[in-house]
Amino acid sequence: MAFERTLKMGMVGGGPDAFIGDVHRKAARLDGKIEIAAGAFDVDPAKSRQMGEQLCLDPGRAYDTYQDMIKGEMARPEGERIDFVSICVPNNLHFPIAKDFIEAGFNVMCEKPMTITLDEAKELEKLVEKHGVVFGLMHNYTGYPMVKLARDLVAGGDFGKVRKVVVRYIQGWLATKLEDTGLQQATWRTDPKQSGAGCLGDIATHAENLAEYITGLKIENICADITSFVPGRPVDDDVNCLLRFEDGVKGILHATQIATGQENGLSIWVHGENKTIEWHQEEPNALYLKDNEGPMQVWRRGNPYVEEVSAAAARGCRIPPGHPEAFIEAMANVYCNFADTIWAKLEGQEADALVSDFPKVGDGVRGMSFIETVMESAKSDQKWTAMKK
Amino acid sequence: MAFERTLKMGMVGGGPDAFIGDVHRKAARLDGKIEIAAGAFDVDPAKSRQMGEQLCLDPGRAYDTYQDMIKGEMARPEGERIDFVSICVPNNLHFPIAKDFIEAGFNVMCEKPMTITLDEAKELEKLVEKHGVVFGLMHNYTGYPMVKLARDLVAGGDFGKVRKVVVRYIQGWLATKLEDTGLQQATWRTDPKQSGAGCLGDIATHAENLAEYITGLKIENICADITSFVPGRPVDDDVNCLLRFEDGVKGILHATQIATGQENGLSIWVHGENKTIEWHQEEPNALYLKDNEGPMQVWRRGNPYVEEVSAAAARGCRIPPGHPEAFIEAMANVYCNFADTIWAKLEGQEADALVSDFPKVGDGVRGMSFIETVMESAKSDQKWTAMKK
Amino acid sequence: MAFERTLKMGMVGGGPDAFIGDVHRKAARLDGKIEIAAGAFDVDPAKSRQMGEQLCLDPGRAYDTYQDMIKGEMARPEGERIDFVSICVPNNLHFPIAKDFIEAGFNVMCEKPMTITLDEAKELEKLVEKHGVVFGLMHNYTGYPMVKLARDLVAGGDFGKVRKVVVRYIQGWLATKLEDTGLQQATWRTDPKQSGAGCLGDIATHAENLAEYITGLKIENICADITSFVPGRPVDDDVNCLLRFEDGVKGILHATQIATGQENGLSIWVHGENKTIEWHQEEPNALYLKDNEGPMQVWRRGNPYVEEVSAAAARGCRIPPGHPEAFIEAMANVYCNFADTIWAKLEGQEADALVSDFPKVGDGVRGMSFIETVMESAKSDQKWTAMKK
Amino acid sequence: MAFERTLKMGMVGGGPDAFIGDVHRKAARLDGKIEIAAGAFDVDPAKSRQMGEQLCLDPGRAYDTYQDMIKGEMARPEGERIDFVSICVPNNLHFPIAKDFIEAGFNVMCEKPMTITLDEAKELEKLVEKHGVVFGLMHNYTGYPMVKLARDLVAGGDFGKVRKVVVRYIQGWLATKLEDTGLQQATWRTDPKQSGAGCLGDIATHAENLAEYITGLKIENICADITSFVPGRPVDDDVNCLLRFEDGVKGILHATQIATGQENGLSIWVHGENKTIEWHQEEPNALYLKDNEGPMQVWRRGNPYVEEVSAAAARGCRIPPGHPEAFIEAMANVYCNFADTIWAKLEGQEADALVSDFPKVGDGVRGMSFIETVMESAKSDQKWTAMKK
């Protein structure tokens, strides 16, 4: 899709000490569709201005607060305002900030988990509907081309009915009480006031989203066991779930932050009547397809045989096979589809299914439902618990 | 350990149409400590004799029935009898056959699962104790050197307290109703009268045994979900469990026979406070050791640095690193320790811990307890269920 | 390094049908230091203008010819001109275009191989020296953090003297006469007038550059065998070389475009007296370090233990371990160091060794020497041939 | 093939301090076709007798010398003699011992390299022909099922004409002067009187044999560079070759014993017009098949789809897929075919192609030709040298 101009992005969060905000900026910039135009980058106004300088922004658009940004941008002539805002702040702030921007009519890209409660999530869903804004949720892992291929292979006729899903997300970085060292990434993630939940919100929701994205199936019931292994940690750092999806599909989801020496091990296996697919985020350019008839196949990003099966995977590729693409490119794919959808809206058009293939407010509602259901099941000593509505 | 003579092995099962019996023979033969001397190889006496000829046995020692073998061998002078019997028949026959041999004073190597019920298992345990025979249970996967290394690394001081265990055993060969094709391996395994359980007894017990062997920890509580995915199959082909071990250790065990395209995927991850170990049966010569401080290490069978840490791993190696050893060698390691223990007994000595490192009747009791506990938890709609005693 | 403004990049090549030009733009954009400001994107002026529109450029800066771009940009006030030009055109045009820009005082980023002849390369080297411009050569593979780590590990005291280097670059895409299908990427690469050489210039030079970069050793003598396997192809598609480096180091370099089914298999093994390193471009986030004493180590991008050993690897990382970075990020690392060096020059400073760590005109001279030496050795029926000077 | 009795194997070498002799015994025993019946296990008669006892042999058949074994066995009634002898001694002794056994009419299994000179090899070839004995040469790597599959895939119509072969054999264990520590394996291998050559004879010949076995193509010309990296070592420890096979096929062969940290890295890539195969000895149960049309395929030992394509691979499998087989099983496959060929001869029959698929005296002649050709090319400063006849 050719744009007449680049879209202007505002940002809440992503200040000098932050991590994910800068990754958002790189991903947004990558394909030349988006430029960073404004921001309230930090709760400390001085740091917000410092980041504005570092980004060579118009000084008037490095705001002290996100409320100022809303006012300031609204005051600009149409066409010169930001086209959307990216919200990259601790979890507990997602809801109020997103709410305010939506009510002011801005399109929103929001980090996950979307909110702290399911009720907040459902309220955002209503607001998005009411105000007609484009809302993206940064479940970036579904931006990987091989994840899109996986979805399209599972949906294809050869795969057979899905029977079982195993999804895991294992990290080791929080195996010690890193939050006590002052590391900002650890501190807010393990503070229940800011994060709502620990491992559950930070990574288990990615696993849940990935499983539902690839299979197109909804989880219906969960039997969960959650643990805080690190002494003195007030949030969970380990999540184990038995899953029951619709249509008799069974599953396992496990996530942990105490798997010493593991980096970012998000992996999924989907077993169908005829085929199995397997994918590992740490080697994202490969997808394994297996059956009982012939040799295992290793599908690799960028090849024509991938593109024949999955237009979505093709759309998410920039460079030829063997020239690996990775995490930032996957996040950029989310931004691309989000941006194209905004552009379509600006043009008064409907984005088609390929363009519209990015995580949305509904994914956020599912994620919050998952979190609350797991918590309830775990509290009730692992009774099977229906996904909350 | 030098023997003055090779040990004589008798065999029940392992006839012309069988699979695992022949593997037992190869494993038993490999190191030159054991010769096959007698057998009741098949329920069909003609087939038993045919196998005797094929093995170039003394025709008088290819018996029509296992009862005949007991009589025939007892009638031979001491020193010319079989030194032990290997039982390689469908699960439901393990108990009566093992019982009769034990009561006649023979040492026994038995396939797993040891029996059909926990009560039978406990009775065998008492009989072994009473008659003082050497009893081995063919949980062959603990014969792999790298599994022994894993155990020794986990027990070592650097590992830290174990926090979490994930073990899985995934196969795909029963994803269709193969038992209807007449394939013997599928037929008896899916007949509840012969097998007692499906996936649960056939492979999930291996996973349970491996987890307890490597960690030295006992499972205390299980919350399970079991399924028969293939229509018309009267036994389970899929097992998912949340585990609680002693000492606050959490875990996941999942096993399946419907993971299309998977061959024999037994894998384990053990996460300690400081380290993680990871092992895959399909690449058995490597063990992955990880921590949060330095690069992942790939330990490989046969190296001096392995042998410094694990005398048991060293003892289980025949050839240098890079010259891979595999499944049959692992089973041969079980036979070697079993044979050395018999030889020690013949010499009136006690086998030391290294020699005595093979699965025994107590492992069989644990296995049957696991099976019955999983079944009870699954029936009660996944309540946490204490391991049955 | 904080910039007061983004650097302005001009581009020659990278039109609507091109491949690598767009990758340059993405890599240049990624970190927010560089914006695309001008271009002569295609030999067809209409297509150049089309690309300008697509990039939302000032229409006056989408030039018809690169000569127009030089004039047009020189006419702009200082500070508003492009800060450098990226040259992404077929090989035979690198020299004249680079020459003109250098002589006009512009900094240059150039695709490899730098020229068609060694003489041209040496002339460029003199011009760069004479005009004092910053010149980068896009040997992007040395931009990978793990390649920088490899270099720093090899240089470290534990590695011991290097003894042997094996480097290979295997692709399969030209195994058939793809150039006859009209595919632009294949057409110019197999036209000796445009490419100078085939496999040798396109990929073998990357292998040569990688080997010299990681080891810090110069190739001194080559014994080569080159082949055109595909009937009717006027350039080589396969290169096999025995190498002798300075200091008694031996090596092998092989590159091919007819390795059916291989994507972009650039790999290197360096064997020292005490250690071996191994790296594969298709899994760029891992580096294998081996010795005869302990387990193999898998070093992974982004970890503190990497950063302790290699400040260059640390500088080339954007995101945490397990969040893979790949091809575009590696190219962006070349652009970052190139841009920082230009910025240092603008500030009147000297770039330090870390900043200055990107391939330069001297690498281009080595590459052309390599190409001419291989050709001469191959023509003389594989006599050992000294690297041409 | 059912035998009426097990074949009786004699052994020269394989004493208490030896390595490979015991591996031969394990491999020979595995399938129950062969029993160890006699031996001259050591140059020290006391050690030979000690090994006889350890193997529970008839004491009269643990001979003091191999000449005694010939006499002693000839003196036994036909049918009670050894059926063949296995020769597992340093290279320089292969020729005289093999010669004497052949001339006495015994079948022979011999370690590689077959002799010290090409002339000796050719003489053995004549003697084998003259005396009509069965002669096997222990190029055990061609015993792997996946190597046989590779050969059958390359020969199949889909592969297209072979263009290029890359074969390597990299070890690190001799990176230091291990022979000075008294380690027997290192001592004789680096003594030119006993070994003839170093790396060249010990491992490079395996690589040569593997390449010719899989492709069915003969090497015609070699351009070689050989080195002794470890100071004071009188034989080569590193071999690099450019190869030209018949029919315009090009290749690379490199072997080394100084690749620190490498275990036993024999690997091969064969590139055909349509397909590539890749195989690694350290993961022997997998074979990679690639093309430009579809995903890479990972063929795994034991599957029906393997057996449909390669009867030889099927014949070399004992256990199902995912139950890995490895080094000893591959060597056992050589013994099986060798034994079946002897049995066929005893029955007055001709062994068919499947049975007769084991390395023979002709492979030994090729190996010695390869060694002498490499040495000549290296001495002449890497001129292309035709394979010696």
pLDDT digit string (tens) for D50-96? 999 999 999 999 999 999 999 999 999 988 999 999 999 999 999 99
C26/A2 Cβ within 8 A: no
The pLDDT, as a whole number, for residue A2 is 62
D56/B6 Cβ within 8 A: yes
The pLDDT, as a whole number, for residue C382 is 66
Q: How many CB atoms lie within 10 A of CB D151?
A: 22
pLDDT beyond 70 at C1: no
Dist CA B343 CA B107 (whole Å): 11
pLDDT, tens digit, 9 for 90 and up, residues B10-48 = 999 999 988 899 999 999 999 999 999 999 999 999 999
The pLDDT, as a whole number, for residue C263 is 98
| 8 A C-beta contact, residue A249 and residue A163 | yes
pLDDT, tens digit, 9 for 90 and up, residues A357-375 = 999 999 999 999 999 999 9
Whether A328 is covered by a domain: the verdict is no
The CATH number assigned to the domain holding C66 equals 3.40.50.720
Closest chain C residue to D288, measured at CA? C261
- DSSP category for residue B168: E
Report field, pTM of the whole predicted structure over 0.95? yes
Q: Report the DSSP pairing between strands B219-227 and B385-386.
A: antiparallel
Task: Quickly state the pLDDT bin for A382 (edges 50, 70, 90).
Answer: low
Going by C-alpha positions, the residue among C256, C124, C232 that lies closest to residue C179 is: C232
Whether A92 is covered by a domain: the verdict is yes
Q: Report the neighbours of D using a cutoff of 3 or more CB pairs below 8 angstroms.
A: A, B, C
pLDDT, average across residues A75-99: 96
The CATH number assigned to the domain holding A254 equals 3.30.360.10
The pLDDT, as a whole number, for residue B380 is 82
Alpha carbon C169 to chain centroid distance? 14
- Please tell me if residue B74 touches chain C, with a CB cutoff of 8 Å: no
Angstrom CA distances, D174 to B54, C252, D145, D164, stand at 45, 20, 29, 30
Q: Are residues C209 and C255 in the same domain?
A: yes
User: Which chain D residues are Cβ-neighbours of C276 within 8 angstroms?
Assistant: 172, 259-262
Q: Which residues in C209-221 are b (16+ Cβ under 10 Å) and which e?
A: bbbbbbbebebeb
Closest chain B residue to D323, measured at CA? B327
- Chain C closest CA to A13's CA: distance in Å? 17
pLDDT, tens digit, 9 for 90 and up, residues B258-270 = 999 999 999 999 9
Angstrom CA distances, A349 to A1, A58, A345, A362, stand at 12, 31, 5, 21
Dist CA A162 CA A177 (whole Å): 40
Whether C18 is covered by a domain: the verdict is yes
Dist CA C385 CA C382 (whole Å): 8
Partner residue opposite D324 with nearest CB, options B56, B322, B327: B327
| 8 A C-beta contact, residue D319 and residue D145 | no
DSSP string of B171-213?
Answer: --TTSS-GGGGT-HHHHHHT-HHHHSSSHIIIIIHHHHHHHHH
The pLDDT, as a whole number, for residue C19 is 85
pLDDT beyond 80 at A3: no
- Indicate the average pLDDT of chain D: 96
pLDDT, tens digit, 9 for 90 and up, residues A251-264 = 999 999 999 999 99
Partner residue opposite A23 with nearest CB, options C281, C319, C322: C319
Instruction: Report, in angstroms and rounded to the nearest whole number, the Rg of chain D calculated over CA atoms.
Output: 21
Q: Are residues D84 and D226 in the same domain?
A: no
- Please tell me if residue A240 touches chain B, with a CB cutoff of 8 Å: yes
Q: What is the largest CA-CA distance in chain B?
A: 64
CB contacts < 8 A (B, C)? 30
Instruction: Label residue D16 exposed, middle or buried (CB < 10 Å: 0-12, 13-18, 19+).
Output: middle
A225/B261 Cβ within 8 A: no
Whether B386 is covered by a domain: the verdict is no
- Please tell me if residue D326 touches chain B, with a CB cutoff of 8 Å: yes
Residue A50's beta-bridge partner residues? none
| 8 A C-beta contact, residue B324 and residue D140 | no
Dist CA A272 CA B104 (whole Å): 50
B138's tokens: 């063919």
- Indicate the average pLDDT of chain B: 96
pLDDT, tens digit, 9 for 90 and up, residues B61-96 = 999 999 999 999 999 998 899 999 999 999 999 999
Q: Are residues A309 and A343 in the same domain?
A: no
Q: Are residues C130 and C152 in the same domain?
A: no
Q: Are residues B275 and B169 in the same domain?
A: yes
Give how many domains chain B has, as a whole number: 2
| 8 A C-beta contact, residue A239 and residue A200 | yes
The pLDDT, as a whole number, for residue C182 is 87
pLDDT, tens digit, 9 for 90 and up, residues B302-352 = 999 999 999 999 999 999 999 999 999 999 999 999 999 999 999 999 999
User: Which chain A residues are Cβ-neighbours of C34 within 8 angstroms?
Assistant: none
Dist CA B146 CA B317 (whole Å): 10
SS3 C304: helix
Angstrom CA distances, B189 to A215, B185, B281, stand at 31, 6, 22
Whether B186 is covered by a domain: the verdict is yes
pLDDT, tens digit, 9 for 90 and up, residues A202-215 = 999 999 999 999 99
Task: Quickly state the pLDDT bin for B2 (edges 50, 70, 90).
Answer: low
pLDDT, tens digit, 9 for 90 and up, residues D173-182 = 999 999 999 8
| 8 A C-beta contact, residue C2 and residue C300 | no
- DSSP category for residue C203: I
Q: Which residues does A356 contact at the CB level (< 8 Å), separation at least 6?
A: A337, A341
Residue B166's beta-bridge partner residues? B252, B269
CB contacts < 8 A (A, D)? 30
Is residue D60 within a helix (H) or strand (E), and if so which, with residue range? none
| Domain housing D307 | 142-319+367-379
Q: Report the neighbours of B using a cutoff of 3 or more CB pairs below 8 angstroms.
A: A, C, D
Q: Are residues C259 and C176 in the same domain?
A: yes
DSSP string of D145-214?
Answer: HHHHHHHHHHHSGGG-SEEEEEEEEE--TTSS-GGGGT-HHHHHHT-HHHHSSSHIIIIIHHHHHHHHHH
SS3 B275: strand
The pLDDT, as a whole number, for residue A183 is 87
Residue B113, preceding bond cis, omega within 30 degrees? Answer: yes
pLDDT beyond 60 at D259: yes
Whether B328 is covered by a domain: the verdict is no
A7-16, B380-389, C360-369: least confident range: B380-389
User: Which chain A residues are Cβ-neighbours of C32 within 8 angstroms?
Assistant: 25-26, 29, 36, 55-56
Q: Which residues in A205-233 are b (16+ Cβ under 10 Å) and which e?
A: bbbbbbbbbbbebebbbbbbbbbbbbeeb
| 8 A C-beta contact, residue A229 and residue B163 | yes
A225/B292 Cβ within 8 A: no
Q: Are residues B191 and B132 in the same domain?
A: no
Q: Are residues D176 and D308 in the same domain?
A: yes
Whether D326 is covered by a domain: the verdict is no
- Please tell me if residue C294 touches chain B, with a CB cutoff of 8 Å: yes
Q: Report the neighbours of C using a cutoff of 3 or more CB pairs below 8 angstroms.
A: A, B, D
User: Which chain C residues are Cβ-neighbours of B149 within 8 angstroms?
Assistant: none
User: Which chain C residues are Cβ-neighbours of B303 within 8 angstroms?
Assistant: 295
- Rounded to 10 degrees, the C-alpha dihedral D135/D139/D140/D146 comes to -110
Three-class HEC string of chain A? CCCCCCEEEEEEECCCCCCHHHHHHHHHHCCCCEEEEEEECCCCHHHHHHHHHHCCCCHHHECCCHHHHHHHHHCCCCCCCCCEEEEECCHHHHHHHHHHHHHCCCEEEECCCCCCCHHHHHHHHHHHHHHCCCEEECCHHHHCHHHHHHHHHHHCHHHCCEEEEEEEEECCCCCCCHHHHCCHHHHHHCCHHHHCCCHHHHHHHHHHHHHHHHHCCCEEEEEEEEECCCCCCCCCCEEEEEEEEHHHCEEEEEEECCCCCCCCEEEEEEEECCEEEEEECCCCCEEEEEECCCCEEEEECCCHHHHHHCHHHHHCCCCCCCCCCCHHHHHHHHHHHHHHHHHHHHCCCCCCCCCCCCCCHHHHHHHHHHHHHHHHHHHCCCCCEECCC
User: Which chain A residues are Cβ-neighbours of D295 within 8 angstroms?
Assistant: 289, 297-300, 303, 305
Q: Are residues D55 and D79 in the same domain?
A: yes
C292's tokens: 């005869």
pLDDT, average across residues C155-175: 97
Q: Please name the residue ranges forming H helices in chain C.
A: 20-29, 45-54, 66-74, 91-103, 118-131, 145-155, 184-189, 192-195, 199, 205-215, 304-309, 311-315, 327-346, 361-379
Q: Are residues C58 and C204 in the same domain?
A: no
Q: Are residues B119 and B169 in the same domain?
A: no
Instruction: Label residue B261 exposed, middle or buried (CB < 10 Å: 0-12, 13-18, 19+).
Output: buried
Q: What are the strands of the beta sheet with B34-40, ordered from one edge?
A: B34-40, B7-13, B84-88, B107-110, B135-137
Task: Quickly state the pLDDT bin for B133 (edges 50, 70, 90).
Answer: very high
User: Which chain B residues are Cβ-neighbours of C299 within 8 angstroms?
Assistant: 295
Whether D2 is covered by a domain: the verdict is no
User: Which chain B residues are Cβ-neighbours of D264 within 8 angstroms?
Assistant: 320-323
Dist CA B240 CA B225 (whole Å): 5
pLDDT, tens digit, 9 for 90 and up, residues A40-63 = 999 999 999 999 999 999 999 999
Q: Are residues D299 and D354 in the same domain?
A: no
Is residue C44 within a helix (H) or strand (E), and if so which, with residue range? none
Task: Quickly state the pLDDT bin for D2 (edges 50, 70, 90).
Answer: low
